[in-house]
Structure 1
C-alpha cells in the first residue's frame, strides 16, 4: 500500500484513518478504519494488484505483443497488435491496461484495397480489368499499349500494403530510325520521317542507273522499332554477246558489259556478207541485249 492519513503518534477513540494504495494496486475493503472504544481498529483493507485480462483476439490479426501476461498498469501495460498480410490497423495499434483493470479500445484489422488502376494515354487495356484489388488477390495488373506504341517502364503495377499502386508505365510511340543509305542507291521514299508502324511505315528504295534491287525494294517499320532487312543495289551485267553465223567480230570484244559501260556492241560480217538489221546491240537495264542482227550473203 502507499500509506494512510492522517499520520499521528496517537489516535483518540472515534478517529479515522484513510488508506491509499500504490499505483497499480486497488483497495479491497473499506478505505477507512476507525479507532474503537476497545482501543483497536476496525479491519484494515488490503491492496491487491490490478490485473487486466488477456487481450482480445481481433479478426484478421497476425499477433499481439507481449503475447503473455500478467498485464498490469505498471508492467506489460501496453500491448501492440499487428494484422495479417493484406490488412491494416484501423485505430490505435496499441491498447493500454488501465487502473480500472480494463483495456483501452481495441483496433480493427481492415482489408487493404487499392483503387482502380489509372488509365494511361494510348493504352489498349489493363488486366485484370476489375477488382477488388488487394495486396493478396488481384495484386498485379498488366498494361498493354495500342498498336504502334510501346511500354516505357514496367508493364506491371503492384497493389502494396500502403493501399497504393507502384508507379504506372507510359505508352510511347514507336519510331524507327531514318532508313540506312545503301551503296549505289538513287533514293528512298518517303525521304523524311518520322517513321512509325502506323504512318510512313513502308519505305521503297530505287537504285542508280545500271543497278538493280537485290531483295525486296521495300522495308517496313516494325513494332520492335526496327526495319525489316534492307535490299542491296547490284550492278546489272549483260552476258557476253552471242556469236552469229558468218560474223567477222564484235567490238568491244570483252566485258564486263553493263548498261553504263561497254553498253553498245557492234557486229561486222565476213567478206561476202552484210548486216541484216542494226549492227549494234545494247545492254539494257533488264540485263539483256537488244536483238542481234544477222549476217546475210551479199547477192542473195
Structure 2
C-alpha cells in the first residue's frame, strides 16, 4: 500500500482571501500477487480501480477473476490458483461430460458408451487431490442376441454378448 496526492500539489492564495482546492492523500493498492498466477497490474492503483487475475498453465482460478482496490488500500478476498486435472484421456467408443479445459480436484466427468458397446468399470471418474484421474471405464463392442432358427434354439440366451463369446445352436426334436 502507498499513498498518492489527489488534486493539485500547489495551492494559491486568491484575491478574495481564499485558497484554491485542498489536495488529499489517498491510499493506493499495491499490485496483488497470487501463488501460481498473475495480476493485470504492475503499478499501484487507486481505490475503485480493478485488477484481473489469471493462473499459470495447469492451474485453475478459484474465486472472482477481478478484485477492486478499496479505500483503505487493500483488495478484498483474492482468488487462488489450484492445481487442476487436464481433460481425461479419451475412451474408445465413448463420450464424456462436462467438457472443460481444466478440472478442479474432486470434480467428476461421466462417460457414455456408443450404441453397440457396453460399459465396464465406473461410468463416473474423479479428478483426485493428487491431480490424476481415477481409472476410466471401457466401452467394449457387444453383439445383440442372435436370430432364432426354425425348429431350434441356442444357448446361452442373453440380451447381449461380448466379442468372441459364442452361442451353440441345436435342433428341437419333433
TM-score by length of 2: 0.50
Higher relative contact order (CA 8 A, sep 6+): 2
Higher CA-based Rg: 1
